[in-house]
Amino acid sequence: MARMKFVCDSERCIECNGCVTACKNENEVPWGVNRRRVVTLNDGVPGERSISVACMHCSDAPCMAVCPVQCFYRTEEGVVLHDKDVCIGCGYCSYACPFGAPQFPSQGTFGARGKMDKCTFCAGGPEENGSQAEFEKYGRNRLAEGKLPACAEMCSTKALLAGDGDVVADIFRTRVVHRGKGAEVWGWGTAYGSQTAGTPTNGVTK
């Protein structure tokens, strides 16, 4: 199986925040924590674009590289998850992440930062699949139910695609061919490496 990936089609996103709502509802994310959010570029200017942003489950995840307690792990499907029993809430991952994915609930005394919370690709975490403990810590495990992330399945315009990287890339390619524009996938190169990444050019490796 290829890796699980997200694609957000900025030509289609209408900033309805349906993905944000679906995520919060499905995973019962606490107040103040947004695993997914919609970012609008050039807001109010003709040609503005909106993008749904969350953890992209990077191929070479910077959060995983900087974590001092090594609480992250990657599943066979390429989903980057973390163990909240190990996380110390230091926030290094927040600084390292190019997508601003790590979130920190601040419900403790004096607004103390809690353990990191982020998108799990609706794959739960290191607790028993479908258990109450898994749901309370990480949210719903839709992958183990044979479903895709709620944000993508609820997207009204299907701007947000999730699933096997080969399948979502194929869907996006079909769209681009039909409409003849909008081939740029925001964040794809950053998360999964550009098509030319690692190719030596003029003796210098990108």
Partner 1 sequence: MKRALAAAALISAAMFLGACGEKPQTNAHGVRLDAAPWTGTGTQPNSATAFTASGWQPGDRASWEQHLKVRAQNQNEYNRIN
User: Which residues sit at the interface with partner 1, rule CB under 8 A?
Assistant: 1, 64-65, 67, 70-77, 81, 83, 85-86, 123-126, 128-130, 141, 143-148, 152-153, 155, 158, 161-164, 167-168, 170-171, 174-175, 178
CB of 163 to partner 1, least distance (A): 3
34 vs 53: CA distance, rounded Å: 10
DSSP strand pairing (37-41 vs 200-201):
unpaired
Q: Which is nearer to partner 1, 61 or 191 (CB)?
A: 61
CB of 184 to partner 1, least distance (A): 19
CB of 111 to partner 1, least distance (A): 28
The closest of 27, 15, 1, 45 to 149, measured between CA atoms, is 27
Q: How far out from the chain centre does Cα 97 lie?
A: 11
Q: Which is nearer to partner 1, 13 or 155 (CB)?
A: 155
Cβ-contact 22, 149 below 8 angstroms: no
CB of 133 to partner 1, least distance (A): 12
Q: Which is nearer to partner 1, 41 or 88 (CB)?
A: 88
